[in-house]
Amino acid sequence: MDIEKPAITPYLTTRKLNPENQETPIHFLRQTITPTEYFFIRNHFEYPLQTQEAFFLPIAGEAMRPTIFTYQDIIRMPSKHLTLPLECSGNNRAFFDPKVYGEQWEDGAISQGLWKGVPLKDLLALIGLKSTSLEVVFEAYDYGKRKDLAGKFHFTRSLPIQKALHPDTLIAYELNGKPIPYKHGYPLRLIVPQWYAMASIKWLKRIVVIDHHFKGPYQEIDYNYFPYKDNDLGKTPVTQINVNSVIQQPVNRSILDNGKHIIEGFAWTGTGVIIEVEVTTDGGESWHKANLVQEQSPLYSWTFWKYVWKVPNKGEYLIMSRAKDSFGHIQPFKAMWNRKGYGYNGVYTVKVKVE
């Protein structure tokens, strides 16, 4: 019959199409760099209609020399490459208990890319920041309606001046060795290492340095932890990525042979580096150190780990992983519940049956 076997490939998992929200098939990728076509896609609005204007990036506000940088200016400046995960702050939202509303992301709203760009601080040095500079506001081309406010809004958020001046906060123009794809922010995207990905604003339209606290709805209403269901007490902004891990294989509720199995996954954090991943196969009675695939975890990049499990007997097993970082943060048994479902990082759990 001479039929070539067709390729068996994973696909993005579709959560919504209008706007487009799709997850990375995270259980089926063991690469350090997520191939671009497998990058998770998260949008608040439909894709912006782009124009030539997007190749001109104005930076103004509390500046001695407000400047319109061209794309050509930017790609000719000294650049930097960074390998880092972007994680949606709603990653794993489906696992909150009690359940919350919003996009029901499972564990694939995270992807790791090789980003190339210019440190924002170099652009800010050129415009000459005034001493009154407090925050830097980033406005994107995408816009649309909200359910809670009248009018239309561009996606707009700010960074504290210290984070904006961090040498690794980039105005990026390449992902995985190519111009950033349209769906991921072409031509210019902010990349903010160690923060959840709502900070890494796509389709940059303009940047404004301000002397006060920015209060747009994507700063003050969304992307805040609200610990209580019915009131706003204890509200705090979502910023750094919480220490976290995922078990890629085996998948939940799978049936395994008796014998030896490899439990494997990766771990990441927004504070320091991953120093340890522990695995339990008895629901938390005993914990074992997993092997970290990179001995010394490079800053930012996720760390693959594996643990060889010799299954003692047939039966049901509750397997968990928990990561620890160099700041002493460790995954909790139960993630801190919050009304909008951000920052989930409970120990990762799968149940399997050995026959």
Residue 217: both structure tokens together: 């709805």
- Please identify which residue in 132, 231, 236, 254 interacts with a second copy, judged by CB under 8 A: 254
Quote the strand ranges of 176-314, DSSP E: 178-179, 189-191, 204-210, 224-225, 236-237, 244-249, 255-256, 260-268, 274-280, 288-289, 291-292, 303-310
- Please identify which residue in 65, 78, 148, 260 interacts with a second copy, judged by CB under 8 A: 148
The yes or no reply on residue 149 touching a second copy (CB under 8 A) is: no
The yes or no reply on residue 233 touching a second copy (CB under 8 A) is: no
- Pick the piece of the chain touching a second copy (CB under 8 A) from 19-27, 194-202, 205-213, 296-304: 19-27
The yes or no reply on residue 51 touching a second copy (CB under 8 A) is: yes
* Tally of CA atoms within 13 A in the half-sphere of 4 that contains its CB: 3
The yes or no reply on residue 70 touching a second copy (CB under 8 A) is: no
The yes or no reply on residue 150 touching a second copy (CB under 8 A) is: no
- Measured from the CB atom, the residue of 166 and 183 that comes closer to a second copy is 183
b/e code 119-140 from CB counts within 10 Å (16+ = b): bbbbbbebbebeeebebbbbbb
- Please identify which residue in 34, 92, 104, 242 interacts with a second copy, judged by CB under 8 A: 104
The yes or no reply on residue 310 touching a second copy (CB under 8 A) is: no
Contact pattern for a second copy over residues 182 through 201, marking x by CB under 8 A = xx--xx--------------
The yes or no reply on residue 255 touching a second copy (CB under 8 A) is: yes
| Residue 144 amino acid letter | G
- Measured from the CB atom, the residue of 104 and 338 that comes closer to a second copy is 104
Q: What is the DSSP string of 154-170?
A: EEEEEEEHHHHTSTT-E
Torsion sign over Cα 129, 130, 134, 135: negative
Q: Which residue, chain included where needed, has tokens 């958020």? A: 157
Quote the strand ranges of 166-225, DSSP E: 170-175, 178-179, 189-191, 204-210, 224-225
The yes or no reply on residue 291 touching a second copy (CB under 8 A) is: no
- Measured from the CB atom, the residue of 96 and 214 that comes closer to a second copy is 96
- Measured from the CB atom, the residue of 60 and 256 that comes closer to a second copy is 256
Tell me the C-alpha distance between 9 and 29, whole Å.
10
- Please identify which residue in 33, 55, 79, 83 interacts with a second copy, judged by CB under 8 A: 55
Tell me the C-alpha distance between 90 and 196, whole Å.
9
DSSP state of 184: G
Q: Which residues of this protein are in contact with a second copy, per CB under 8 A?
A: 1, 3, 5-6, 8-18, 20, 22, 25, 27-28, 47, 49-52, 54-55, 94, 99-102, 104, 147-148, 182-183, 186-187, 251-257, 351-353, 355
